[in-house]
């Protein structure tokens, strides 16, 4: 049975793996490209402010700017640590 | 007024200089007055690919710094009429390449030539940015391989933001995708990105597809741009690319795997 499954399973072609990886990385690069120049700085400073109160990781903060027709929405997501230990006394 | 075309890629070793040499030569063979400029200060190679390395006296930096006139630095191609080469400096510091200096050189050349082909250095630093800054069109050379495709996407970002056209809010630099070292047999076996994959990911128009070809190394060994070798797939593919750059509609060739027949297997078949 196992052997049959093994034989039936088609190995994923390496080119399609490459394509998937590239689609993700390129989408990410383009997201960064279209954002205003101040975004990395804003993200860094927001992180510093949050860290004054809660110890969070560098990648625990996610910031994005979406624009609709006539307004832009700045979305800020911060993942806080589960326990209280990260909090300064 | 000349059309300024930059040949760029981000990643090194994908075939920028080979392509710049072949395309500039192809444009000249079609009767256009063409000059090809090497922007790779410190690591010039265009002179070797064009086969004029022993005729370099002055270079781009000499001209920019006023040590030589433009006509003293331009090298007339031995084989092709209407074609000149402006070599890069092998010794000077990269910083000697100034935007003002480059602008002046391009402006002067613009009066006389139909096409100015700029061969960009690899990377996204000073030299590469300067090579693309004044461009009207860009040929983004890409291998069907992950790092090359990612770097090409980075270059597309720079073309959209760090060029004179972008800064002046003029119509954007026209972007062309040139896929090189394409191996249809590996595409068929699923181990190489297809040309549709690359085109879809980068989302720009395909101007040419150059198959992996033994003729390219042969050409660089001899210092004769591969477009002169019209018996080879690569030579024909570059000639097609030039036609498309000139606005002609030419069907794609060499993107499908040709299974070798019995006869060509026995007798070695044609040259690739």
Interface test with A, best of B146, B182, B196 (most A CBs within 10 A): B146
Return the pLDDT at A8: 57
Distance from CA of A27 to the nearest CA of B (A): 9
Digit-coded pLDDT (tens) for B219-262 = 999 999 999 999 999 999 999 999 999 999 999 999 888 776 66
Q: Which has more pLDDT, B134 or A2?
A: B134
Return the pLDDT at A88: 47
Q: Is the pLDDT of residue B134 over 70?
A: yes
Q: Which has more pLDDT, A87 or B166?
A: B166
Mean pLDDT of chain B: 94
Distance from CA of A36 to the nearest CA of B (A): 12
Whole-angstrom Cα Rg for chain A: 21
Please indicate if any CB of chain A lies within 8 Å of the CB of B128.
no
Average pLDDT, integer, range B45-73: 95
Whether pTM > 0.90 for this model: the answer is no
Please indicate if any CB of chain A lies within 8 Å of the CB of B103.
no
Q: Which residues of A touch B202 (CB under 8 A)?
A: 26
Prediction ipTM score: 0.84
Return the pLDDT at B83: 98
Average pLDDT, integer, range B61-90: 95
Alpha carbon of residue B264 to chain centroid: 33
pLDDT above 70 coverage of chain B, percent: 95
Digit-coded pLDDT (tens) for B174-227 = 999 999 999 999 999 999 999 999 999 999 999 999 999 999 999 999 999 999
Lowest mean pLDDT among B20-34, B84-98, B121-135: B84-98
Return the pLDDT at B270: 53
Q: Which residue of A has its CA nearest to B157?
A: A33
Return the pLDDT at B245: 98
Return the pLDDT at A89: 41
pLDDT above 90 coverage of chain B, percent: 90
Q: What is the 3-state secondary structure (H, E, C) of chain B?
A: CCEEEEEECCCCCCCHHHHHHHHHHHHHHCCCCEEEEECCCCCCCHHHHCCCHHHCCCCHHHHHCCCCCHHHHCEECCCCCCEEEECCCCCCCHHHCCHHHHHHHHHHHHHHCCEEEEECCCCCCHHHHHHHHCCCEEEEEECCCHHHHHHHHHHHHHHHHCCHHHHCCCCCCEEEEEEEEECHHHHHCCCCCCHHHHHHHHCCEEEEEEECCHHHHHHHHHCCCHHHCCCCHHHHHHHHHHHHHCCCCCCCCCCCCCCCCHHHHHHCCCCC
8 A C-beta contact, residue B86 and residue B74:
yes
Rounded Cα–Cα distance for residues A48 and B193 (Å)? 42
Return the pLDDT at B121: 96
Return the pLDDT at A58: 78
Q: Which residue of B has its CA nearest to A37?
A: B161
Q: Which residues of B touch A19 (CB under 8 A)?
A: 193, 197, 201
Low-confidence ranges of chain A (pLDDT < 50): 88-89
Cα–Cα distances in angstroms (integers) from residue A68 to residues A39, A71, B18, B63, in the given order: 18, 6, 45, 50
Distance from CA of B69 to the nearest CA of A (A): 40
A-B contacts at Cβ under 8 angstroms:
42
Rounded Cα–Cα distance for residues B110 and B167 (Å)? 21
Whole-angstrom Cα Rg for chain B: 18
Q: How many CB atoms lie within 10 A of CB A32?
A: 10
């Amino acid at each position: 049975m196992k052997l049959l499954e093994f034989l039936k399973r088609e190995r994923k072609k390496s080119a399609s793996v490459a394509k998937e990886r590239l689609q993700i990385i390129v989408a990410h690069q383009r997201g960064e490209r279209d954002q205003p120049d101040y975004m990395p700085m804003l993200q860094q400073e927001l992180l510093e402010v949050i860290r004054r109160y809660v110890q969070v990781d560098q990648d625990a903060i996610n910031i994005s700017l979406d624009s609709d027709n006539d307004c832009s929405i700045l979305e800020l997501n911060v993942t806080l640590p589960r326990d209280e230990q990260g909090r300064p006394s | 007024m000349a059309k300024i075309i930059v040949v760029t890629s981000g990643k090194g070793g994908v075939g920028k200089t080979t392509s710049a040499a072949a395309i500039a030569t192809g444009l000249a063979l079609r009767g256009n007055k063409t000059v090809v400029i090497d922007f790779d200060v410190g690591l010039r190679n265009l002179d070797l690919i064009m086969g004029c390395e022993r005729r370099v006296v002055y270079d781009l930096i000499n001209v920019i710094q006023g040590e030589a006139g433009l006509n003293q630095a331009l090298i007339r191609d031995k084989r092709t009429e209407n074609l000149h080469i402006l070599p890069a400096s092998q010794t000077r510091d990269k910083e000697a390449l100034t935007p003002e200096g480059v602008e002046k050189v391009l402006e002067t050349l613009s009066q006389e030539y139909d096409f100015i082909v700029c061969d960009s250095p690899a990377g996204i630093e000073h030299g590469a940015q300067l090579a693309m800054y004044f461009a009207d069109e860009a040929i983004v050379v890409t291998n069907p391989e992950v790092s090359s495709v990612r770097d090409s996407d980075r270059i597309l970002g720079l073309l959209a933001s760090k060029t004179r056209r972008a800064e002046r809010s003029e119509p954007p630099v026209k972007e062309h995708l040139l896929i090189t070292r394409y191996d249809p047999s590996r595409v068929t076996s699923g181990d190489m990105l297809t040309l549709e994959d690359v085109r879809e990911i980068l989302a720009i128009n395909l101007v040419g597809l150059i198959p992996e070809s033994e003729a390219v190394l042969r050409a660089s060994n001899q210092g004769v741009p591969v477009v002169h070798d019209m018996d080879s797939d690569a030579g024909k593919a570059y000639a097609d690319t030039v036609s498309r750059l000139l606005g002609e509609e030419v069907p794609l060739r060499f993107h499908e795997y040709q299974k070798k027949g019995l006869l060509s297997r026995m007798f070695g078949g044609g040259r690739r």
